[in-house]
Structure 1
Amino acid sequence: MKKAGMRIGILLSLLCWILPSVGQKNVIDEVVWMVGDEPILRSDVEATKRFLLSSGQALQGNPDCYIPEQIAIQKLFLNQAKIDSIEVSESDVNRYVDMYLSNYIQQFGSKEKMEEYFNRKYTQIREEQRVEVRNGEIVRLMRRKIDENVKVTPSEIRQYFASLPQDSLPYIPTTVEVQLLSIKPVISLQETDAIKKRLREFSDEINDGRRDFSTIARLYSEDNKTALQGGEYGFVSKASLDAEFARVVFSLNNTKRVSPIIKTDDGYHIAQLIEKRGDVINFRQIVLKPKVSNIALTEATSKLDSLYALINDGKLTFEKAVTLHSEDTDTRNNQGLMVNKDLESDFYSSSRFKYEELPQDISQAVYNLKPNEISKPFVLKTDRGSEEVVIVKVKNRIEGHRANMNSDFQTIKALALNKKKESVVDAWILKKQKETYIHIEPAYRNCEFRYPGWLEK
């Protein structure tokens, strides 16, 4: 089930980085729309069309109508954002760009193949994406400003639910609430010392000018997000980094020297300054992650085996075991209850998960468990790449069903709110159409636009 009110936003976010990146070969360029003093080019429309088709995405109606209309809506938002001085977080922009480029490098198989497809160098692609992703974030913030004060009353929620035909009620998939008990294997002193020794060797080679930081990062860094870019992180604010890591990198002043070794939850780092711009910084990093020995895994598993036996024998509750022994900082103060952090999930920020939203190892472990049953200890590979030994418990399981007001009030409230917000944004667009100069070339006018006001000039 997808959130309502996102149809425009999803395509706009795609448009924010498709246009400058898709080659425009064999397209005779011309202005097909004018929105204020901003042109929409035929090449923009054709590039977006080809991208969507190559991605296997269905096009709504006539793409020569739908696509330029979406671009025009984006330009209305961007123009108003300039007037309202909407600003975005550079760290968020960099994070989104890194995510996009990392996904595409994986899809193409290499950075070189991606460069060949887009007919641009990686640095060009990255900078273009920074500009366009920034625009996308500005559009998102502008939309939020337009609808941020929209509320729904209980009466409106009931009216919305009553207006839905029974066969159109949203289907709520099966969800589970999961509790976690985690033991982290001890990293040996020898392993830590070996990593620090290797990082010191890298630092000496770089500081002496014998090797290039970027080359070493590409060859040896264990951070998948930055290694392919020679360790380059991208501009980021201090608040977006681990506190100790931020303290060290923001104190760097020499672009030729390497930082001291920094320990974070991701591993051990060395960093090199690239550039500072006000409150943001760009740097390179090399990350090495300690490896867990088989002995340490066996010891952690043995400890959890003992706790598993005590819980199964009724001598210790799962919740008490979490409080006394769990080493997972995110859940141990909440009786091990996991929280959904998937921003795209309908259950974001709640304790409910669809099975596919759980880490794969946990999903497999709980799939056949009933409420209040616990798993046997197993090794979990975290999203940081580390290993820990865990037991999980199914606190609750809600079977898939058609939405109802008793068990799904919050979901229905969100749907009603999104529908009302969409109506507010629609009204804003219709108002801006009347206030903005718009010209559409004749070949692009014979359309059933979602917002008919484009032609009322």
Structure 2
Amino acid sequence: MNKFRVIRWCVCMLLLLAGISAYAQDNVIDEVVWVVGDEAILKSDVENERLNAQYENRHFDGDPYCVIPEELAVQKLFLHQAELDSVVVSDQDVIQEVERRISWLTEQIGSREKMEEYYNKTYTQIREMLRENVRDGKTVQEMQMKIVGDIKLTPAEVRNYFNKLPQDSIPFVPTQVEVQIITQEPKISEQEIERVKAQLREYADRVNKGETSFSTLARFYSEDPGTARRGGEGGFTGRGALVPEFANVVFNLTDTKKVSKVFETEFGFHIAQLIEKRGDRVNYRHILLRPKVDQKDIDAALARLDSIADDIRKEKFSFDDAATWISMDKDTRNNHGLLANPQSNTSRFEMQELAGLVSQDVAKVVEGMQIGEISKPFTMINSSGKQVCAIVKLKNRIDGHKATITEDYQRLKAMVTSKRSEEKLQKWIVDKQKNTYVRISPKWRNCEFKYPGWIKR
């Protein structure tokens, strides 16, 4: 334990044992409620977690003032071990998650000002609080993965687990579907493309001449909802997190006062401005504009897909071949158009997943289809935010049922893996408790803790 940690531990102990208060970072009287090792848990820490839970609609199984400090105490155990094992997380991952949470909170609460009022903190203090929370959370996840390790299960172990499950504990699997898709992008006129480019060049000229700020234009005009509300700011990002065409531009910017030339990606047309570079990461602003598609071009793409669907029904060629050679969907054409579920790493989707992960339009079309049926053409927004035309084929439907080892092996294997992981982590926590100094303020002790070993008799 280094000198600083010793001093911090002594201060925490004095505060707790004396039952007196300390000043928190925001200069409001605070109180040490737990000490775990040489780390203090403050009353303000508990209150911040409670406020976050309210906006995330999280419900506690018990008194929040018992559940939250225990969760924070468990986190301290993992963080201490992570420090011993030199477990670190990347700044890029932390920053991206902070930006996502800031955007979500601002949207939920209504404005930056209301968010500051809700937390009784400045915007900078809120960002710092979230940065620490996110870094700690990701570090805990990495540490847990290290503790759990690679759990290998044999089919016999999964089968044995399933056979021992009581009938009322066998999970119910909702209806799932497997869907193939073919898309066509409506043709966009050169005139419309030039209009968008000219508009972006005008924005760039206004910024370069000092007539207005890039961030103001981004808030008003950018069609990237994720960054527009932040004045086009993307946050510090590594090259690998950006599409190549975008990365090539923003990583080559050198002057923070100048705006890039207009460039194109799969999302549309952009201009960008450098904010700051830090090593292999860059923070930037950008404005995205998407050319508008004329209805006649949408109708032409729908008519072409209608003709393709008819030819498939007449068996002139298969849906698989059409998806491979005709579809413009880059994510599926190399797999005969079969949609992949990123959450389960399978091709099966529950209907709610299909709507949330792929498209509500696809889910609506698929819901009433029969196995093997090919839909009429329809329009949808693809993963790049572009309006495209599509047809889908319902390859398979698995009706809702109680899980079986033959139909749902991967789901049951995941259940067993999760159970084994949880058992390992719980054992680790219990063992760690035995060798960790813990002190709880008397008025915070009257709880039924998940792990009773906190209070040593």
TM over 0.5, yes or no?
A: yes
Q: Are 1:351 and 2:340 matched, yes or no?
A: no
Match in the other structure for 1:418: 418
Q: Structure 1 263/55 Cα, relative in aligned 2: closer, same or farther at 3 Å? A: closer
Match in the other structure for 1:125: 126
Q: Structure 1 234/146 Cα, relative in aligned 2: closer, same or farther at 3 Å? A: same
Alignment partners' CA distance in 2, 1:26 and 1:94: 26
Q: Structure 1 124/45 Cα, relative in aligned 2: closer, same or farther at 3 Å? A: closer
Alignment partners' CA distance in 2, 1:262 and 1:119: 42
Instruction: Give the stretch that moved more between structures: 372-381 or 23-32.
Output: 23-32
Q: Is the 8 A contact 2:96 2:236 kept in 1?
A: no
- CA displacement at 1:189 relative to structure 2: 1.0
Alignment partners' CA distance in 1, 2:297 and 2:75: 54
- CA displacement at 1:53 relative to structure 2: 4.9
**Alpha-carbon displacement from aligned partner over 1:264-313 (angstroms, at most 9, x marks no partner):** 11111111111111111111111111111112101101111111221222
Alignment partners' CA distance in 2, 1:268 and 1:90: 29
Q: Is the 8 A contact 2:55 2:108 kept in 1?
A: no
**Alpha-carbon displacement from aligned partner over 1:206-232 (angstroms, at most 9, x marks no partner):** 122221111111111111011111111
Instruction: Give the stretch that moved more between structures: 87-96 or 241-250.
Output: 87-96
Give unmatched runs, 5+ long, in structure 1: 1-22
- CA displacement at 1:121 relative to structure 2: 4.3
Alignment partners' CA distance in 2, 1:138 and 1:193: 48
Alignment partners' CA distance in 1, 2:52 and 2:334: 46
Instruction: Give the stretch that moved more between structures: 328-337 or 89-98.
Output: 89-98
Match in the other structure for 1:12: none
Q: Structure 1 201/50 Cα, relative in aligned 2: closer, same or farther at 3 Å? A: closer
Q: Which one-letter code corresponds to 2:375 in the other structure?
A: S
Secondary structure of residue in 1 paired with 2:220 = helix
Q: Structure 1 392/54 Cα, relative in aligned 2: closer, same or farther at 3 Å? A: closer
- CA displacement at 1:143 relative to structure 2: 0.9
Match in the other structure for 1:185: 186
Instruction: Give the stretch that moved more between structures: 398-407 or 444-453.
Output: 444-453
**Alpha-carbon displacement from aligned partner over 1:301-337 (angstroms, at most 9, x marks no partner):** 1111111221222333211221231111111111100
Alignment partners' CA distance in 2, 1:255 and 1:280: 15
- CA displacement at 1:453 relative to structure 2: 1.9
**Which structure has more RCO (C-alpha within 8 Å, separation ≥ 6)?**
1
Q: Structure 1 120/61 Cα, relative in aligned 2: closer, same or farther at 3 Å? A: closer
Q: Is the 8 A contact 1:90 1:237 kept in 2?
A: no
Match in the other structure for 2:173: 172
Match in the other structure for 2:158: 157
Q: Structure 1 122/199 Cα, relative in aligned 2: closer, same or farther at 3 Å? A: farther
Match in the other structure for 1:398: 398
Give unmatched runs, 5+ long, in structure 2: 1-23
- Pairing of 1:340-379 with structure 2 (within 5 A): 340-341=341-342, 343=343, 348-358=344-354, 359-379=359-379
Q: Structure 1 95/326 Cα, relative in aligned 2: closer, same or farther at 3 Å? A: same
Instruction: Give aligned pairs, total.
Output: 430
- CA displacement at 1:55 relative to structure 2: 5.2
Q: Which one-letter code corresponds to 1:391 in the other structure?
A: I
Match in the other structure for 1:453: 453
Q: Which one-letter code corresponds to 1:434 in the other structure?
A: K
Q: Which one-letter code corresponds to 2:187 in the other structure?
A: V
**Alpha-carbon displacement from aligned partner over 1:70-96 (angstroms, at most 9, x marks no partner):** 000111111221222222233322332
Q: Is the 8 A contact 1:183 1:304 kept in 2?
A: yes
- CA displacement at 1:106 relative to structure 2: 2.7
Instruction: Give the stretch that moved more between structures: 53-62 or 218-227.
Output: 53-62
Instruction: Give the stretch that moved more between structures: 447-456 or 397-406.
Output: 447-456
Instruction: Give the stretch that moved more between structures: 52-61 or 315-324.
Output: 52-61
Alignment partners' CA distance in 1, 2:329 and 2:51: 46
Match in the other structure for 1:44: 45
Secondary structure of residue in 2 paired with 1:314 = coil
Match in the other structure for 2:205: 204
- Pairing of 1:250-265 with structure 2 (within 5 A): 250-265=251-266
Q: Structure 1 243/387 Cα, relative in aligned 2: closer, same or farther at 3 Å? A: same
Match in the other structure for 1:195: 196
**Alpha-carbon displacement from aligned partner over 1:161-199 (angstroms, at most 9, x marks no partner):** 123110111111110000001111112111111111111
What TM-score do the two structures reach when normalised by structure 1?
A: 0.89
Q: Is the 8 A contact 2:232 2:287 kept in 1?
A: yes
Q: Is the 8 A contact 1:24 1:47 kept in 2?
A: no
Secondary structure of residue in 2 paired with 1:181 = strand
Instruction: Give the stretch that moved more between structures: 125-134 or 197-206.
Output: 125-134
What TM-score do the two structures reach when normalised by structure 2?
A: 0.89
Q: Are 1:90 and 2:86 matched, yes or no?
A: no
- CA displacement at 1:146 relative to structure 2: 1.1
Instruction: Give the stretch that moved more between structures: 37-46 or 413-422.
Output: 37-46
**Alpha-carbon displacement from aligned partner over 1:218-263 (angstroms, at most 9, x marks no partner):** 1111110111111111111111111121122112221111122221
Match in the other structure for 2:270: 269
Match in the other structure for 1:232: 233
Q: Is the 8 A contact 2:170 2:402 kept in 1?
A: yes
Alignment partners' CA distance in 1, 2:129 and 2:32: 21
Q: Structure 1 212/252 Cα, relative in aligned 2: closer, same or farther at 3 Å? A: same
Q: Which one-letter code corresponds to 1:235 in the other structure?
A: F
Q: Are 1:62 and 2:63 matched, yes or no?
A: yes
**Alpha-carbon displacement from aligned partner over 1:373-429 (angstroms, at most 9, x marks no partner):** 111000112243211110001101001111111111111111001100111111111
Match in the other structure for 1:243: 244
- CA displacement at 1:26 relative to structure 2: 13
- CA displacement at 1:25 relative to structure 2: 11
Alignment partners' CA distance in 2, 1:159 and 1:391: 43
**Alpha-carbon displacement from aligned partner over 1:121-142 (angstroms, at most 9, x marks no partner):** 4444334322321221111111
Q: Are 1:145 and 2:146 matched, yes or no?
A: yes
Instruction: Give the stretch that moved more between structures: 150-159 or 392-401.
Output: 150-159
Q: Structure 1 41/223 Cα, relative in aligned 2: closer, same or farther at 3 Å? A: same
Alignment partners' CA distance in 2, 1:334 and 1:210: 50
Instruction: Give the stretch that moved more between structures: 99-108 or 191-200.
Output: 99-108
